């Protein structure tokens, strides 16, 4: 039941999905961002089969998103730490959460709230422009092919 590989598509979205598109991967990452490091703790919190979890963790290690580190010698025990590449998935995680908060939360509201410690406020995440700081809205952004500078969908072509 393996699907087409996305890795060969020349698209950053497809290539990212090739890495994080497995069902459980982003939930493993959610736990890692919460501070979970040890196999048994991932397992207990996710309620996931051990063999599935082991495969997901190994895949994340192979991709350089988590790093496996020895924390005890007898018996040997390892923990899983986010790498820089892993930390860099934070915007993906928060964007998934933000959408779910808006569109899937029950009457009791979102289950988790975020406090931005730098400003001290309860906050939500906003996707903004690296240059002017304004929110990036789909109708105000043009996507251009890097090579040709043409629009991604060239209606005149």
Our finding on whether 55 is near a copy of itself (CB under 8 A) is no
Compute the least distance from the CB of residue 155 to a copy of itself, in Å: 8
**Of the residues 51, 70, 73, 137, which one makes contact with a copy of itself according to CB under 8 A:** 137
Angle between helices 90-103 and 25-34 (to 10 degrees): 100
**Of the residues 12, 70, 73, 156, which one makes contact with a copy of itself according to CB under 8 A:** 12
Between 71 and 87, CB nearer to a copy of itself: 87
Our finding on whether 102 is near a copy of itself (CB under 8 A) is yes
Burial category of 37 from C-beta neighbours within 10 Å (exposed 0-12, middle 13-18, buried 19 and up): middle
Q: Are 102 and 68 in contact (CB under 8 A)?
A: no
Strand partners, 77: 72
Between 54 and 94, CB nearer to a copy of itself: 94
**Of the residues 51, 119, 156, 157, which one makes contact with a copy of itself according to CB under 8 A:** 119
Between 66 and 101, CB nearer to a copy of itself: 101
Q: How far apart are CA 86 and CA 64, in angstroms?
A: 7
The greatest distance separating any two alpha carbons of the chain, rounded to the nearest whole angstrom, comes to: 67
- Peptide bond just before 144 cis, omega within 30 deg: no
Please choose, out of 54-62, 68-76, 130-138, the segment that lies near a copy of itself by the rule CB under 8 A.
130-138
- Which positions from 82 through 101 interact with a copy of itself, judged by CB under 8 A? 82, 85, 87-101
């Amino acid at each position: 039941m393996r699907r087409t590989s996305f890795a060969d598509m020349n698209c950053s979205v497809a290539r990212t999905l090739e890495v994080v598109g497995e069902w459980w991967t982003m939930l493993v990452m959610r736990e890692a961002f919460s501070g979970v490091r040890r196999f048994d703790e991932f397992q207990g919190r996710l309620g996931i089969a051990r063999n599935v979890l082991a495969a997901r963790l190994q895949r994340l290690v192979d991709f350089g998103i988590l790093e496996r580190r020895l924390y005890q010698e007898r018996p040997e025990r390892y923990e899983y730490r986010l790498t820089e590449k892993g930390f860099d998935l934070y915007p993906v995680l928060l964007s998934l959460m933000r959408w779910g908060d808006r569109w899937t939360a029950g009457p009791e509201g979102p289950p988790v709230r975020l406090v931005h410690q730098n400003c001290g406020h309860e906050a939500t995440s906003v996707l903004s422009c690296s240059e002017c700081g304004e929110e990036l809205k789909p109708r105000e952004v043009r996507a251009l092919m890097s090579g040709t500078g043409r629009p991604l969908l060239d209606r005149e072509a």
